Amino acid sequence: AVVVCNLDGRILLYNSRARLQFRTLAQGSTTGTGGALIGLGRSIFSILERNQIDHALEVVHQRLQKGAGAAIANFITTARGGQLLRVQMVPVLSIADDSPENDISGYVLTVENITRSLEQESRRDQVLQSLTDGSRGSLANIRVAVGNLMDYPDMEAAVRERFVGIVSDEVVRMSQRLDQTMNEFADSLKTRWPLEDVLGIDIIAAAQRRIEEQLGLPSKTEEIDEALWLRAESFSLVFSICCLAFRLLEHYQIKELRFRLQPFGKLAYLDVIWSGQAMSSETFYTWETEPMQVGTENSPLSLRDVINRHGGEVWYQRDKAAHCAFFRLVLPVAIPETQAESEAIDASQMRPEYYDFDLFHFRDQSIDLDRPLADLSYTVFDTETTGLEPAAGDEIIQIGAVRIVNNRMLRQENFNELVDPERLLRPEGIRIHGITDDMVRGQPSIDAVLPAFHEFCSDTVLVAHNAAFDMRFLQLKEERTGIIFSQPVLDTLLLSAVLHANQDSHQLEKIAERLGISIEGRHNALGDAVATSEVFLKMLPLLEQMGISTLRQALEASQKTYFARVKY
């Protein structure tokens, strides 16, 4: 995961892996609702400890002053969710003409979650320690028994049998303990394998060399796609192929192996072919599940372990027409990263969200009413409810929101949560928003969702259409949840009345139509939030033309409209 920050710790750029990784690291109230605090303009200190970042910056400064070749800092830290992270910091140096030499304007963090790998290392240490401690007692008993047998060759038969029994029992215990340890150790090995992109023909060439050198068995290729890339762990895969060759040579005395490699959609077929005696399914099952062996070299893993780790399949097949048989290894094809992302998300989501790099010089500050509207960050939100009367017991059933940063809507940084209202929904409302009782039953309550939404909105101006309605619902939950939304609120309904005072309708659809915006997904909280964001962004330059350029001016103009008097 890669994150770029300015000196205030504000996130300026992040990649897709960071978004996914930090979603799993989301802490506090966001954990229960799947939220993630990473986002443009947000603080990295909501995820990583400020003290460690500051210390790393100090180390980088010192190395720059000393002229070190690699002015980087590494540290291990604990995320607030308890995960262990390995972090590397690389400085971003200012290129301004008036900047001092080696002046730092920001930094790049490379973050790796190492919690699982350390847990696996600890588990292996425990397994090996258990094997060592358990073997000491058995070895001591065997040593005593063997010593007595050697020192007293003429002992009575019953006594001799008892000592022999001790040796036999301890050997069985050690064998069982060893088998158990090797099984556990094999599981740990399997979870550590990194899969990498490798040319399929290179895998086959490596297997051919090893088979010919160790087994003296000739081989050749046929129907090889030389441009086919696999997603594989080459060592274990080559060892598996060699193991099959060793067993074929040992059991069926084959004279030659042939290899075939062809693509099949997102998979690849790697065939190990031979001519000779047919084998039974039972034999293949035994070969598939037993620990692998090539000559005197053994592995605790089986062929099935290796195939499962690759997410593939293997089977034995007889080709009677060609008078041959083959093992078919079905393996994943390596998909270029750009192609894989395009299949998972649409084209608009492929672009990384970023600030212009001159914003490295931005300094953190609280919301200033006299700042230009274009310079502020916004959370545009909408709610779906059981009805239209918040004071009469109607409840929120969905909250949807998106962020606007640097005059751009960030579709990827959204909040979208259903809420269990703990009451039945009104049929007339279901016809509008399409949310049913079954959809909200068992969802998080407002007590869990509202703190998460509050965190999502931090350091931003709130924007909504007919905001008084939504804000009333939030206000009525202050006593129950302790959550207060105290930031400024802009209402696109009121801003529309400022811009188009002579228009009869200020419904969201009508405003969008006037501004040339096509709306999709209405009456879904997130869909309405997206539509409101597009409307709001279109309004900003129009407000500027009217001389309304700051947050204070927009609030004052909104307050003077007729619709500002509506109460809920």
The residue annotated as part of the active site, out of 55, 61, 500, 523, is 523
Two structure tokens written together for 48: 């990583």
Q: Could you give the 3-state DSSP secondary structure of residue 376?
A: coil
E strand residue ranges, 118-236: 196-199, 219-224, 229-232
Q: Where are the alpha helices (DSSP H) in 34-156?
A: 50-65, 115-151
Element (H, E) at 446: helix 446-456
Q: Is 310 labeled as catalytic in the residue annotation?
A: no
Question: Could you tell me whether strands 84-93 and 219-224 are parallel, antiparallel, or unpaired per DSSP bridges?
Answer: unpaired
Q: How far apart are CA 202 and CA 200, in angstroms?
A: 5
- What are the φ/ψ torsions at residue 404 (nearest 5 degrees)? -115, 120
Are the C-beta atoms of 236 and 301 separated by less than 8 Å? yes
| Residues belonging to the chain | 568
Are the C-beta atoms of 536 and 463 separated by less than 8 Å? yes
114, burial (CB in 10 Å: exposed 0-12, middle 13-18, buried 19+): middle
Q: How far apart are CA 310 and CA 233, in angstroms?
A: 8
Amino acid at 38: I
**Distant-in-sequence contacts of 389-395, Cβ < 8 A, 24+ apart:** 390/469, 390/472, 390/473, 390/476, 390/568, 391/472, 391/476, 391/568, 393/423, 394/473, 395/419, 395/421, 395/422, 395/423, 395/446, 395/473
Active site residues: 523
